[in-house]
Chain A
Amino acid sequence: MAYFLQLVFAGAAQGCIYALIGLGFSIIFKASQVINFAQGELLLVGTYVVASAVLNWHLPFLLALPLGLLVTIVIGLVFERLVLRRMIGRPPFTVLMITIGLDIILRTLVIVGWGSRTIPAATPFSVTSGFNVASVHLGSSDLWTIGVTIVLCIALYYFFRHTRYGLAMRATALDQEAALAMGIDVRNVYALAWGLAAAITTLGGVLLAIDSLAIDPNFGNAALVAFPAIILGGLDSVSGAVVGGVIIGLTSVLTAGYESRLPAVVGTGLHEVTPYLIMILILMIRPYGLFGSRKVERV
């Protein structure tokens, strides 16, 4: 039982990271019907900046983190300003291809700037820190991950429900032309979505890096693991990204924890497959995801 609870705790923490990364995808998708394939590379740049700030420039972690967030927010805003702003009203597929281009550019820049070696990640506390509750070890990094995610979800909920800009974003997501006719500045909405998404994803990346201890230029692929999470939650649903993330995290960690007890023929890689199996199962029952709406653009 303790083993099971331990796995559930670890799975929840892992799921929160997927949720954060997934939130980045769904906020941009909701605002502009674009799947941002550069999401993983925004996260990569962010974690590299935080790691450098701590290890090379000897900044405290709590200063390095906002610096990393700032850098990715600026990249998101500049990209929005220089490229996406000219693409308003164009087919989402065109913009999607451009994000793939941005992805390649960012990854190359990281390799040029930091090299392709593995470097240690910035970690504000040791992996072993934490405390035990009835033989379940609650690690500091996992506790922080879960806590940060919960606080962020509450803040986002408040933002979307009770602020002018939140309302503007929701209105634009529902009907861009009607929003424009109301005088909502759609360009500002896109900028806000990109800035917000970049920051949240980077936060997810930094938390993930604390767990994995080291990062390399392939670290951005973590965003791909978050992909089944947003698909099963429903691409255009912000709460769906969170629920989807937690489901994927739990499935993946629980399978990893129990796969050694399965017949040897299954092998040891099952936990990498189960998130996709769950995704396919849920999509068979609900083609638009758990919380998705039917109008979602198929790309």
Chain B
Amino acid sequence: MLELQDVAVTYQNVIPALRGVSLEIPEKVVVALLGTNGAGKTTLLRAISGLLPLHRGALVGGHILFAGERLDRLSPTRIVQLGIAQVLEGRRIFDDLTVDENLHAGAITVRNPTAIRRAYDRVMSLFPVLAERRSSRAGYLSGGEQQMLAIGRALMASPRLLLLDEPSLGLAPFMVQRIRNIIAEINAEGTAVLLVEQNAQMALSVAHYGYVLETGRVVLAAPAARLLQEENIRQFYLGLREGERQLALGRLRQRQERVAERRWQS
């Protein structure tokens, strides 16, 4: 459904952020995108959703296809209308607006009132907490509730593909678990998800497939179950002491070179 081919992105014409990333998200699948800070995960989401120009970034190579259509020249409005909704890192809800107003802002591209109604009912059944607080100011919700609102707001556009940027950031462990289950539930209803996460354990437990990004390149791509068992990933992303982290990083780098070599050979 979504296909990135050799996507390269630079900021302000000089700072490279992605250096030839290829990635695929089939229909109705959860794909996890892992990587450290600065690996280019958020940049990749911006490239898909058309938010690069706002950050003075631009696609300088490759292309992005969604259901056969090239996304890289379209406006963010058009991309949302095609069926891609993004939840930004750090929730970014409109805190002076009420919960209801936030949700309706998410449906701004939808013209059909019955479609809005249906999406609204779906969000309310997914997040009963929001139903209880529909007319309170969004800024007064707890962190977890705000994350639910941010996801609900994106769902109001009834997307076929949902882009989630670090939904577990700053949440208590039980809330991370709830967000994980919500992602699984959204996916069970047929929505594909691209999940950017630092919490690899959580991401891989819900994803079907995973990619690891390192300094703007894909260094690993495998089914989630296999990544969970992968020694280097376990050491590097699932929490180890600092010395071992460095060692694991070294091994990942070696692996990256091997991937590059193989690409030359083929």
Contacts and interface: CB of A to CB of B under 8 A. Distances in A.
Interface of A: 88-89, 164, 167-168, 170-171, 174-185, 293
Nearest to B75: A185
Contacts, number: 76
Interface of B: 49-51, 53-56, 75-77, 79-81, 85-88, 92-97, 101, 104-106, 108-109, 153-154, 157
Nearest to A165: B108
B51 A181 contact: yes
Contact of A178 (B75, B92, B101): B92
A13 to B, nearest CB: 32
A177 B76 CA distance: 10
A150 B74 CA distance: 42
A183 B77 contact: yes
Contacts of B51: 177, 180-181
- Of the candidates A89, A164, A174, A184, the one having the most CB atoms from chain B within 10 angstroms of its own CB is A174
A174 B77 contact: no
B53 A89 contact: yes
B104 A167 contact: yes
A175 B97 contact: no
Contacts of B93: 178
B54 A88 contact: yes
A28 B105 CA distance: 20
A183 B78 CA distance: 7
16 contacts: A89-B53, A167-B101, A167-B108, A170-B96, A174-B96, A174-B97, A177-B51, A177-B54, A178-B93, A180-B51, A180-B54, A181-B49, A181-B76, A183-B157, A184-B108, A293-B96
B53 A171 contact: no
Contacts of B80: 181-183
A164 B107 CA distance: 10
Contact of B76 (A171, A174, A183, A293): A183
A164 B49 CA distance: 22
Nearest to A293: B96
Contact of A171 (B49, B94, B154): B94
Contacts of B76: 180-181, 183
A177 B51 CA distance: 8
A61 B204 CA distance: 70
Nearest to A180: B76
A175 B96 CA distance: 10
A206 B221 CA distance: 67
Nearest to A185: B77
Contacts of A182: 80, 85, 105-106, 108-109, 153-154, 157
Contacts of B85: 181-182
A177 B108 contact: no
Given A182-B80, A183-B81, A177 B97 contact: no
Contacts of A180: 50-51, 54, 76
A93 to B, nearest CB: 17
A178 B109 contact: no
